[in-house]
Structure 1
């Protein structure tokens, strides 16, 4: 199955060019990948900052690099071949947590279990259903949400995760630094201290420095459930590790055929296939999100916080696996070699292989290296 499912879309991505020893900005035309890098827009960030990114991409001169299938088949990190990179570059990578009621309940269970999957199963059977039903269809920050909060406090079930899930303020955190995310086909990393973890299939928005949403793509917000469950103050350690953020395959820019309403209706599917024969599927319906994407963007950028290069924003997930993989009562956790596939109609397919962060290729190409590379090519 191809990584792009709609050639009528306006697509923005990045590839590694062996002859340039660095990245190029690309688009798709008729099933082929075209290099549209220029002095006007040497970066993905530059195009996202334009008044009409889709118009620019459709009209920009470029030259053919190869077919989508050829380039998608190349191994990321193989510097002898053109291969896809994460489609964003200078944009910081932010993420929203606890934006779906079902995953909100799982976060409460993680907290109450202090990261212990065996305790989590017992707590899940005792209070999970009750909390989930009480929060069904509640709008975050509403009077009904405030009333639910008071009731849950009386029952001793209130949690910091419920606070950000249905309270007035969303959870928005820094997932990864600019240029550190991996793209389609790459390995994704788990910190080796984690024994209980999972993928998080999400829609990721591309947002300009003015706070305008210009497009969307897919992402895997790799999550360490045991680390975050021990303490919310360990969120950085649970979320930001080498190769722990995957984004791609390409940003689909908003145009006459694709808008934010399509994002609101997106159905995100997940498949995990292990080398041990294990297989798990999951699903996340954006229609069930408790905060609208525009509201999440407004909580991220504004007078209170600026992003001169724009940003990428993970929107959260409905998916929180509780089925057992090996041992009864211990739930799901990754194993090295797991193949994770995230897909959504109109956004394509993002596929990555799970490794330890210490075994993934180290991140070495930062902002200084990018600027030096572009300068040597007379692009800046």
Structure 2
């Protein structure tokens, strides 16, 4: 499985500039001739494919010698979609004192889109994700994330955990930014799978497990085939009256949500797998207030 990755070479982490490369099926990483992912995403789809093709002649570095970073940098933003699956609609209504707003947006022409993270706040595979100390109910939200270039073309896909505070959002929908945007609430990885290597984005299995100690305390699965919104429709609304000169990542919403009596706690391990895209695994910590 090929991934476009940001990485640091082992033994060269302090003060080093991250490399941008292609992680190949043979366990090697080949560096790309760009200074950042943001620079890569400024190009057209054809230009990006040409840059990746050029990696075949680059020197190979064993992946055992690199540490992957979150696949977003520079001025590239992370956005997210809400209430795009029936299960998400049900969960939002159950947790909210004003469930009608979620029922209406599910069927509305305009989707719910919201800002999730700047690049430097996103965490990578293996890094801790956070839950708020002032929230009674915290949940992972396993999602397929689309990676767009500046022209609005889908370049690739990655795995996103849109970690959320259900109790804060449920108290009042206007608290959505506080429920969604805080330290370590956005995890991305393990890299960007080029879109031309994925046969059908509309039929990918997604699974998630929460482990606590030696036990799996929750697991569920879904498929992007159950997504209520089309990817091109989400993209069209995101790019309305908005420019993304360094590309943008759009997480497409979750179709699996734990019941309200299960909340993430410090020490849990969240594992998300998306078919043909990759696995994102993160330990949970509590973010102090």
Q: Does the TM-score normalized on the shorter chain lie above 0.5?
A: yes
Query: Which of 32, 37, 40 is residue 44 of structure 1 equivalent to?
Result: 37
Distance of 1:340 and 1:30 partners within structure 2: 25
Question: In angstroms, what is the RMSD of aligned CA positions?
Answer: 1.9
Is the CA contact (8 Å cut-off) linking 1:205 and 1:314 kept in structure 2? yes
**Counterpart of 1:154?**
none
Q: Secondary structure at the match of 1:22?
A: coil
**Counterpart of 2:274?**
344
Give how far 1:35 is off. Answer: 4.4
Distance of 1:96 and 1:313 partners within structure 2: 7
Compare the two structures and name the one with the higher strand fraction.
2
Is the CA contact (8 Å cut-off) linking 1:242 and 1:358 kept in structure 2? no
* Aligned: 1:88 with 2:26: no
Deviations 1:94-132 (A, max 9, x none): 0000001121011011113x8xxxxxxxxxxxxxxxxxx
> Gaps (5+ residues) in structure 1?
1-5, 72-81, 115-157, 323-329, 360-380
Is the CA contact (8 Å cut-off) linking 2:211 and 2:217 kept in structure 1? yes
Distance of 2:30 and 2:8 partners within structure 1: 11
**Counterpart of 1:273?**
211
Is the CA contact (8 Å cut-off) linking 1:183 and 1:246 kept in structure 2? yes
Distance of 1:342 and 1:66 partners within structure 2: 25
Query: Which of 238, 259, 270 is residue 300 of structure 1 equivalent to?
Result: 238
Distance of 1:188 and 1:271 partners within structure 2: 15
Is the CA contact (8 Å cut-off) linking 2:136 and 2:167 kept in structure 1? yes
Change (3 A) 1:190 1:59: same
**Counterpart of 1:170?**
111
Change (3 A) 1:358 1:64: farther
* Aligned: 1:258 with 2:198: yes
Distance of 2:156 and 2:109 partners within structure 1: 26
Distance of 1:251 and 1:298 partners within structure 2: 21
**Counterpart of 1:77?**
none
Distance of 1:245 and 1:33 partners within structure 2: 27
Compare the two structures and name the one with the higher helix fraction.
1
> Gaps (5+ residues) in structure 2?
none
**Counterpart of 1:12?**
4
Distance of 1:54 and 1:308 partners within structure 2: 18
* Aligned: 1:249 with 2:234: no
Deviations 1:16-71 (A, max 9, x none): 24265231112123423324243xx211122233332233213235333323xx25
